[in-house]
């Protein structure tokens, strides 16, 4: 014979379990530019978990407390000085990268189609071999290079500064 359970009464009203959007967001002051969120010194509202688990531990943001909001102008001044110095360094790197020519040898078929491709990681490794440290995510190839030839590859550096690297892909002997 099957066992039947009596209906249990709810311990709390269902309204107590509802969470509003106000409880899930928090205001933060960005210390770095964060893509799709905002720029340095900006006060933005983001999901609480995103702020607590990602932005604040990585020092990308500060919680927008009363004290931090009062110090906001001082923080913005400090961030603008740092932004200016980073932009100068990025300009120098862009100038240096414009003089760089990378030559890569790859196996190719009769129609100059590569067996494989040249990716942004390959370009980053070749730049590192020449002494230029560039993150592979900042190298913007529309698609990996699959045909022998010469290419101008854009490199996005800090704060809107963009450089260009000349990449020559040859047939491997």
The residue-averaged pLDDT of 26-46 equals 91
Q: Count the Cβ atoms, other than its own, within 10 Å of residue 115.
A: 10
Per the model's pLDDT, the better-predicted residue between 7 and 133 turns out to be 133
Same domain for 104 and 59: no
**What is the reported pLDDT for 11?**
53
Compute φ and ψ for 166, nearest 5 degrees.
Answer: -90, 125
Q: Is residue 124 part of a domain?
A: yes
Q: Is residue 111 part of a domain?
A: yes
The residue-averaged pLDDT of 109-135 equals 92
Q: What is the CATH number of the domain that holds 128?
A: 3.10.430.100
**What is the reported pLDDT for 2?**
60
Average pLDDT of the chain, as a whole number: 87
How many whole angstroms separate alpha carbon 118 and alpha carbon 132?
18
**What is the reported pLDDT for 165?**
94
How many whole angstroms separate alpha carbon 167 and alpha carbon 114?
15
pTM, entire model: 0.65
DSSP strand pairing (61-63 vs 43-47): unpaired
Same domain for 144 and 110: yes
CA atoms within 13 A on the CB side of 112: 7
Counted domains in the chain: 2
**What is the reported pLDDT for 12?**
53
Q: Count the Cβ atoms, other than its own, within 10 Å of residue 22.
A: 8
Contact criterion met (CB below 8 Å) for 63 and 52:
no
138-171 burial code (b ≥16 CB/10 A, e <16):
ebebeeebeebeebebebbbbbebebebebebee
In whole angstroms, how far apart are CA 94 and each of 6, 10, 27?
A: 74, 65, 35
**What is the reported pLDDT for 79?**
83
Asked if the model's pLDDT at residue 82 lies above 90, the reply is no
Q: 146 in helix, strand or coil? A: strand
The residue-averaged pLDDT of 60-68 equals 92
Same domain for 108 and 47: no
Contact criterion met (CB below 8 Å) for 50 and 17:
no
Each residue of 98-121: pLDDT tens digit? 999 999 999 999 999 999 999 999
Same domain for 100 and 49: no
Same domain for 157 and 120: yes
**What is the reported pLDDT for 154?**
94
In which domain, by residue range, is 133 found?
A: 94-171
**What is the reported pLDDT for 13?**
53
**What is the reported pLDDT for 63?**
93
């Amino acid at each position: 014979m099957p066992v039947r359970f009596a209906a249990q009464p709810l311990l709390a009203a269902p309204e107590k379990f509802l969470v509003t959007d106000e409880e899930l967001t928090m205001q933060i002051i960005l210390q770095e530019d964060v893509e799709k969120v905002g720029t340095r010194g900006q006060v933005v509202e983001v999901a609480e978990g995103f702020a607590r688990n990602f932005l604040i531990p990585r020092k990308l943001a500060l919680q927008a407390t009363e004290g931090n909001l009062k110090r906001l102008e001082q923080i913005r001044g400090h961030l603008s000085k740092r932004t200016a110095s980073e932009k100068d360094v990025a300009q120098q790197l862009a100038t240096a990268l414009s003089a760089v020519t990378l030559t890569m040898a790859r196996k190719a078929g009769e129609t100059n189609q590569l067996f494989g491709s040249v990716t942004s990681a390959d370009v980053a490794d070749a730049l590192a071999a020449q002494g230029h440290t560039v993150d592979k995510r900042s190298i913007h190839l529309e698609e990996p290079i699959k045909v022998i030839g010469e290419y101008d590859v854009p490199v996005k550096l800090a704060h809107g500064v963009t450089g260009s690297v000349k990449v020559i892909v040859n047939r491997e002997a």
